Amino acid sequence: MKKRYIITLLAIGILGAAGGAKAQPQSQTPALSLHDCMEYAISNSTLMRLQEADRDDEQALRRQAIMQAFTPSLSARSYANNQYGRNLDPETNTYNTVTTFYNGYSVSAGITLFDGFQAINNLKMASASVKMGLSKDEQERDRICLMTMEAFTNVVYWSEMEKVIAAQVETARQAHRKALRQEELGEKGHAEVVQMASELAQKEYQLISARNEKQNALITLKDTMYYPSDEPLVLDTRIPEPLCLSSDVAELESKAKVQNPSALIAGLELSNARLNLKKARGAYSPSLELYGGWSTTYYTYPGMSEYKTAPFKDQFVNNGGEYIQLQLSIPIFDHLSRRTSLQKSKNDLKRAEAKYDQALRDIENEVRRAVNDRDGASAAFLQAERMADVQKEAFMLSTKQFETGLISALEYQTASQTYLNAMAEQLNCRLKLFLKDSLVRYYGGEAYINQ
């Protein structure tokens, strides 16, 4: 009868659990992988929107430089005025004191034939600025991706630690229950039971801490991704396995110096500094400009019927005239502004050369450090993996020994904590190896988003 009663309770519990699971609404939020998180962060980043506005400005400046270099300027003008008192009579070309109304129209065009190649240099600088802007976009995307990867792996770490500690909490809970039963049977003393209760409390505290750290890591990830803070973020916490391909450091350095956005930006800044120096020197050259235009006027004597003038239509045609002008300008003295600009351009070039050399040196050091860190992380992960396997076996053995009374509760607690530390170190080394390997692949020309 008792056995049938137990079976009935188990059946009711299983059906109740099934019904409760059925009653819970299914989550409609898709789980985001690491790649999805990086794409989301790039798409919603305010910094990327600012970069996009900067790119629009650079494109506009480039269009302006093209127009200034290859197209003439065109303008139209109209004016109207009254002249009182003594003035020049437009009909007789003599002075009189009659009020005269003037109305004029003109159209003119001009083009610079030579300006010391300043317009060409402006165009080259604008084109280099556009390329530099694209490299800055790529640099910003890479920075956002790296921040997202670090935040994502932090979430993965604490999620996995939560699972490990939760399993240990359950093990400690079962051991505590068993110790209580053994105390009732007289097989264990009260001190060991208290020790097991302490072990359980410690594991439960560690579980609470891990959950809090996981929530903090999720908040950081949301902030990095620009994800709505009040919406749930469901993650696919699988991390790609590190490739750890053998790398030729010299080859990686060569690729990074050519492809890395930092090197590209420094090189384009150096190119612009050289063009700016050419532009400053070109300011000393004479400039040659060609102008042409057409203008006409109309006049009348308002309120004076005794003065007759031709109709507007006739004057518009008869008073029209054209002109063409070739202008040569030779700079002589401008309060040393050209000299100052030239000296400043030379100093800017020196700074750009120093920054470019420093950028290449930084890339060399970063590549070597990245490869060294990746190799070190790989060796550390292999060792941590072996240590975790050994500690797992030791913990399982300690569990059996504790159950049979061969070791004390304190020794069992020490073995449990050692196993937890080994699991945490193994997970930490694996995630660190993933990040270090991604950095090496990045310097090899593979963007984070494409890994």
| Residue at 183 is within a domain | yes
Distance, C-alpha 440 to centroid of its chain: 19
Degrees to nearest 5, angle at CA 160 with 26 and 156: 80
Please tell me the distance from the alpha carbon of residue 328 to that of residue 183, in angstroms, as a whole number.
110
Mean pLDDT across 23-42: 79
Give the model's pLDDT for residue 304.
77
pLDDT over 80 at 24, yes or no? no
Lowest mean pLDDT among 52-66, 371-385, 408-422: 408-422
CATH assignment of the domain containing 238 = 1.20.1600.10
Full domain range(s) for residue 159: 33-69+142-253+368-450
Query: What is the residue-averaged pLDDT of the chain?
Result: 89
pLDDT in tens, 247-281: 889 999 999 999 999 999 999 999 999 999 999 99
Strand 100-114 versus strand 287-300 pairing type: antiparallel
CB 267 within 8 A of CB 356: yes
Percent of the chain surpassing pLDDT 90: 70
Mean pLDDT across 27-41: 88
Please tell me the distance from the alpha carbon of residue 227 to that of residue 41, in angstroms, as a whole number.
8
Which residue do the tokens 């891990």 mark? 210
Give the model's pLDDT for residue 28.
64
| Residue at 290 is within a domain | no
369/406: higher pLDDT: 369
Degrees to nearest 5, angle at CA 361 with 357 and 366: 145
Q: Which amino acid is at 57?
A: D
Give the model's pLDDT for residue 286.
94
| Residue at 229 is within a domain | yes
pLDDT in tens, 419-434: 999 999 999 999 999 9
| Residue at 223 is within a domain | yes
**Residues forming a β-bridge with 300:** 101
**pLDDT band at 13; cut points 50, 70, 90:** very low
| Residue at 75 is within a domain | no
Please tell me the distance from the alpha carbon of residue 158 to that of residue 428, in angstroms, as a whole number.
10
Give the model's pLDDT for residue 182.
81
122-158 burial, b at 16+ Cβ within 10 Å, e below that, comes to: bbbbbbbbbebbbbbbbbbbbebbbbbbebbbbbbbb
Please tell me the distance from the alpha carbon of residue 131 to that of residue 445, in angstroms, as a whole number.
18
Mean pLDDT across 197-221: 94
How many C-alpha atoms does 156 have within 13 Å on its Cβ side?
A: 22
pLDDT over 90 at 349, yes or no? yes
| Residue at 325 is within a domain | no
Alpha-carbon torsion 123, 124, 125, 126, what sign?
Answer: positive
pLDDT over 90 at 146, yes or no? yes
pLDDT over 70 at 30, yes or no? yes
CB 140 within 8 A of CB 323: no
**pLDDT band at 1; cut points 50, 70, 90:** very low
pLDDT in tens, 287-326: 999 999 999 999 998 877 777 888 999 999 999 999 999 9
**pLDDT band at 191; cut points 50, 70, 90:** confident
| Residue at 117 is within a domain | no
pLDDT over 70 at 379, yes or no? yes
Contacts of 299 (CB under 8 A, 6+ apart): 90, 91, 100, 101, 102, 103, 309, 315
Give the model's pLDDT for residue 26.
44
Residues in the chain: 451
Number of domains in the chain: 1
195/151: higher pLDDT: 151
pLDDT in tens, 384-423: 999 999 999 998 999 888 878 788 877 888 888 899 999 9
Give the model's pLDDT for residue 87.
81
| Residue at 375 is within a domain | yes
Mean pLDDT across 64-86: 92
**pLDDT band at 4; cut points 50, 70, 90:** very low
Which residue do the tokens 């399982």 mark? 396
Tokens of 397: 């053995």
Helix (H) or strand (E) holding 105: strand 100-114
CB 218 within 8 A of CB 166: no
